[in-house]
Amino acid sequence: MDSALVLHRLHFAFTITYHYLFPQLTMGLAPIIVVLQTIALVNGSPRFQRAARFWGRIFAVSFLFGVVTGIPMEFQFGTNWARFANFSGGVIATSLAMEGVFSFFLESAFLGIFLYGAHRVSARLHWLAAVLLCAGSWLSGYFIIVTDAWMQRPVGFEVAANGTAHLTSFWALLSNEWAFWQFLHNMSGAVVTGSFAVAGLGAYYVLARRHEEFARLFVSLGLLFALVASGFQLWPSGDEHGRLIARHQPATLAAMEGLFHTEAGAAITVVGQPDVERLELDNPIRIPRVLSFLTFRRWLAEVRGLTSFQRDLWPDNIPLLYYAYHIMVGLGTLFIAITLLAAYYWWRGRLYDTSWLLWVLVLSVPLPFVANTAGWMTAELGRQPWLVYGVMRTVEGSSSTVSGGNVLFTLLGYMGLYTVLSILFVVLIMREISEGPAPTAEG
């Protein structure tokens, strides 16, 4: 692979991975804020009002950094991926423009009303601001997912005489089946991130004996959202999305599972190390026939292995794809186990006295960020070697006039700048955590 192309891919991978650390937190916190604000509206409780405002401030900090790190990616389409932008602009420009409208206008406007309008607007309008903030956040996510889903399963377009793609059906673009299930899977993953952040911070406050009026509320509400979202990740969203991959990207499925040879009654791999040279999986632990059933709902269904496809159709980094997928699945299973265990202790009335389990919740806060990152790596590595699956290869989409040296220079610059942003983000978040949802925060 050309060194400049490798650097183009690394550059975009770095910026988009760093950027998505922030939207997944805001999209995950948004429905939790709505629930808190709804309870505050119904019973007039100052405690729930302050809790909603506290997480609104965390939302605002994350939203700000999401905007700052998201803008450079728009420019990268023109600088690093000019040929792809020229080919697909007639399709994806529509969804990206709508994402910008909802992200910058709807979210920004109602975030301002929610944070600063509590004493300037009615209680119902303040609640509506929280609802529309959540709607804007999730609509923004949907239009991004629509863009990526078109690259995974292109629909509603035609290639014009000049070789560029043009949209023929806006409805087909928006109603892409791939976008529907990918959106549900992505957003439930974001809710896992937000709910573990809420529960983990609540557990920290319980252990530190600080803000005890809010600590147990955060733990219980966070666990409720985490339990529902973690289960939804497994079924139906993860299950249905996996079946889509089996139908439309069978080579991707084979690489994800480390399945090199076609099997009837294929087993699912729990542990193993793919050896691409010898076309086999080392030290495998498998559950017989489960992969066939999960993908085709038949225990003896035939699942195609990688060797049944041309080599140039294989994902170009099978080990990284395989490990990213298994990290995502492994962590998702862990989240279900943690939430079930914590829910059991909560039901028995022992959760807040079990310090080791509270520490598990605290230390689990970073894990959903890892799982969501691994999930997106699975999606994007699995699509390779295509930028638009079956239509445009990755090697055809990068900018031919931007040298590898230029890309490396800007990549190092971004790394330095994002290091500074990381420090600033940690400082701001730690200040909010230190202050907490105390009554003085109302001022």
What are the sequence ranges of the domains in the chain? 3-262+304-442
d(CA 5, CA 398): 7
Residue 442's pLDDT is 42
Structural contact between residues 306 and 314, judged by C-beta atoms closer than 8 angstroms: yes
| Nearest alpha-carbon partner for 105 in 132, 74, 71, 76 | 132
**What's the CA angle centered on 415, arms 414 and 417, to 5 degrees?**
60
Q: What share of the chain is helix, strand, coil (3-state, %, to 5)?
A: 75, 5, 20
Residue 441 pLDDT more than 80?
no
User: How is residue 28 written in tokens?
Assistant: 């995950």
- Bond prior to 154 in cis (omega within 30° of 0): no
Tokens 């009303």 -> residue: 113
Q: Which residues pair with 393 in a beta bridge?
A: 386
Q: Which residue has the higher pLDDT, 203 or 120?
A: 203
CA distances from 88 to 91, 142, 160, 266 (A): 6, 19, 11, 37
pTM: 0.96
Residue 439's pLDDT is 58
d(CA 287, CA 268): 5
For 159, phi then psi, to 5°, come to: -95, 120
Tokens 């790596």 -> residue: 377
pLDDT in tens, 46-95: 999 999 999 999 999 999 999 999 988 888 988 999 999 999 999 999 89
Over residues 343-357, the mean pLDDT reads: 96
d(CA 350, CA 233): 27
Structural contact between residues 192 and 336, judged by C-beta atoms closer than 8 angstroms: no
d(CA 322, CA 281): 11
Over residues 281-286, the mean pLDDT reads: 94
Over residues 282-309, the mean pLDDT reads: 95
% of residues, the chain, pLDDT over 90? 89
Q: Which residues pair with 287 in a beta bridge?
A: 268
Residue 417 pLDDT more than 90?
yes
pLDDT in tens, 191-216: 999 999 999 999 999 999 999 889 99
Average pLDDT, the chain: 94
Q: Which residues pair with 165 in a beta bridge?
A: 159
For 339, phi then psi, to 5°, come to: -70, -40
Residues 42, 48, 53, 59, CA torsion sign = negative
pLDDT in tens, 99-117: 887 777 788 889 999 998 8
Measured from the Cβ of residue 7, the count of other Cβ atoms closer than 10 Å reads 22
Over residues 138-143, the mean pLDDT reads: 94
Residue 22 pLDDT more than 50?
yes
d(CA 289, CA 72): 46
Residues 6+ apart with CB under 8 A from 372: 20, 24, 189, 190, 192, 193
Over residues 114-143, the mean pLDDT reads: 92
Structural contact between residues 168 and 94, judged by C-beta atoms closer than 8 angstroms: no
Residue 73's pLDDT is 87
